[in-house]
């Protein structure tokens, strides 16, 4: 469905039209209701505008309601628009003749108009326009144009290519880190027989084995000119979810696509839920940074990864934080921690690991960082904490840092303990300062600059 659902209500009773339109407006979001008293008015509206749903009573003043349905089904614009008949005689003539007239569903008005809006709400949810991005592989320009326009008319976004090789390259761009990663395909529609060295079957095999995309993660609908049992078996063995036969019947194609897109949507919803649960499991909910469990599970590999070298550990502790909790309360203390977490996330690029180490202490693992940049970042962060003033409270922080440049081949526990010793030294020297643990021992950090460095967008200094 479009964002605004356009509904045409056809009923000979003014009272019924008023009740129906009022009920739909009250219970449907963004509904645009047009009412007509007879079939002549309805046909005039249908010529002037396009509707997402049409309801009609079985008996109209000028013609039979089923005859109106037949006329609508004979038009190009509303050939596939859902048609709901409102009737008190659902067990009789409507059930015998409704299907042939193109009726999609009916509502028994003996149930009362109060439930009609909920009926329509459920119906529109089931019958919504196709939503998604399809990769359409077709080497016939004529078939691609006709079928592509057909699918776009039903709401599907189409990217069409002529060969399996071209489709393979586009799918490769959808993998993590690729240029299409943020705009992937929801479904692949491919002819089974294609020109070129790769067939549709080869593309299917690549999707399932090379890209490791399951039938739920990437549904594939195959278009084939053969309906033989052997061909169907071949199509399914290649990894297709479903197939349609040539010549394409629009209703069948849309039904197959709607079913496969629902599978994709359900898979995506489950994956988002799993990602959300994973995020909750590894995130400190108060500050928004990673939690200690994440550090323990991933820190060792992060430290030993050669691509992260040289790597720096930074430990930061809020000075006199216990006094804040004791005098101003833990809620105020939480606001201070929350503000500091936000500052840390803004101060370091995403390839750094920012962790709440415990209480008011935070740890940061900074990859690919020179000594000069690490020292500048530590001092810049200390000055930023001074300026932070969360909930109008003056706070300062002490910081200790160390590096694999000075202390290679250390375990995560030992490496962090060296930064902790530098932090302890910063506190013993009077707090609100930074210390570094070098090969020669612990030294205070001083920057001989006229103006304090400031954080750039990536957390570097300028």
Catalytically active residues are 360
Say if CB 461 and CB 453 are below 8 A apart. yes
Q: Where are the beta strands (DSSP E) in 103-211?
A: 105-108, 133-137, 157-161, 187-191
State how far the Cα of 187 lies from the Cα of 221, in Å rounded to an integer. 8
CA-wise closest residue to 193 among 156, 245, 135: 245
Cα–Cα distance between 249 and 232 in angstroms, integer?
18
| Whether 42 contacts 36, CB under 8 Å | yes
Angle at 363 between CA 361 and CA 366, to 5 degrees: 155
DSSP 8-state class, residue 308: G
DSSP class per residue in 147-175: HHHHHHHTT-EEEEESSHHHHHHHHHHTS
Peptide bond into 206 cis (omega under 30): no
Q: What is the DSSP-derived secondary structure letter of residue 202?
A: H
Q: Which of 331, 416, 326, 317 is nearest to 359 (CA)?
A: 317
Burial of 249 (0-12, 13-18, 19+ CB in 10 A): exposed
């Amino acid at each position: 469905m479009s964002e605004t659902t356009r509904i045409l209500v056809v009923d000979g009773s003014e009272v019924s039209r008023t009740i129906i339109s009022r009920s739909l407006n009250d219970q449907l979001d963004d509904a645009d209701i047009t009412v007509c008293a007879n079939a002549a008015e309805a046909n005039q509206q249908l010529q002037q505008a396009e509707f997402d749903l049409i309801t009609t009573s079985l008996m109209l003043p000028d013609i039979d309601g089923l005859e109106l349905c037949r006329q609508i089904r004979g038009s190009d614009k509303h050939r596939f628009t859902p048609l709901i008949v409102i009737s008190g005689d659902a067990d009789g003539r409507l059930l015998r003749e409704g299907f042939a007239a193109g009726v999609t569903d009916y509502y028994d008005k003996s149930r009362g108009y109060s439930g009609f809006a909920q009926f329509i709400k459920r119906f529109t949810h089931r019958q919504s326009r196709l939503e998604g991005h399809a990769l359409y592989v077709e080497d016939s320009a004529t078939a691609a144009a006709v079928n592509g326009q057909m699918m776009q008319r039903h709401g599907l976004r189409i990217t069409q290519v002529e060969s399996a090789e071209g489709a393979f390259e586009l799918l490769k761009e959808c993998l993590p880190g690729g240029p299409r990663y943020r705009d992937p395909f929801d479904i692949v529609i491919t002819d089974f027989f294609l020109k070129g060295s790769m067939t549709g079957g080869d593309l299917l095999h690549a999707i399932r084995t090379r890209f490791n995309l399951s039938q739920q993660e990437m549904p594939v609908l195959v278009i084939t000119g053969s309906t033989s049992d052997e061909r169907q078996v071949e199509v399914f063995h290649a990894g297709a979810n479903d197939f349609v036969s040539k010549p394409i019947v629009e209703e069948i194609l849309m039904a197959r696509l709607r079913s496969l897109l629902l599978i994709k949507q359900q898979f995506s919803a489950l994956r988002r839920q799993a990602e959300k649960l994973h995020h909750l499991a590894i995130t400190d909910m108060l500050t928004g940074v990673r939690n200690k469990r994440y550090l323990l599970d991933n820190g060792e590999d992060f430290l030993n990864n050669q691509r992260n070298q040289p790597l720096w550990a930074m430990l930061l502790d809020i000075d006199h934080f216990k006094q804040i909790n004791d005098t101003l309360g833990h809620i105020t203390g939480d606001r201070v921690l929350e503000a500091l977490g936000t500052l840390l996330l803004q101060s370091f690029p995403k390839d750094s690991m920012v962790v709440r180490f415990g209480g008011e202490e935070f740890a940061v693992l900074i990859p690919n960082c020179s000594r000069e940049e690490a020292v500048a970042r530590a001092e810049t962060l200390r000055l930023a904490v001074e300026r932070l003033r969360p909930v109008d409270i003056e706070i300062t922080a002490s910081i200790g840092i160390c590096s694999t440049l000075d202390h290679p081949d250390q375990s995560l526990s030992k490496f962090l303990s060296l930064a902790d010793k530098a932090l302890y030294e910063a506190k013993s020297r009077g707090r609100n300062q930074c210390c570094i643990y070098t090969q020669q021992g612990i030294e205070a950090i001083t920057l001989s600059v006229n103006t304090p460095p400031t954080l750039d967008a990536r957390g570097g200094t300028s």
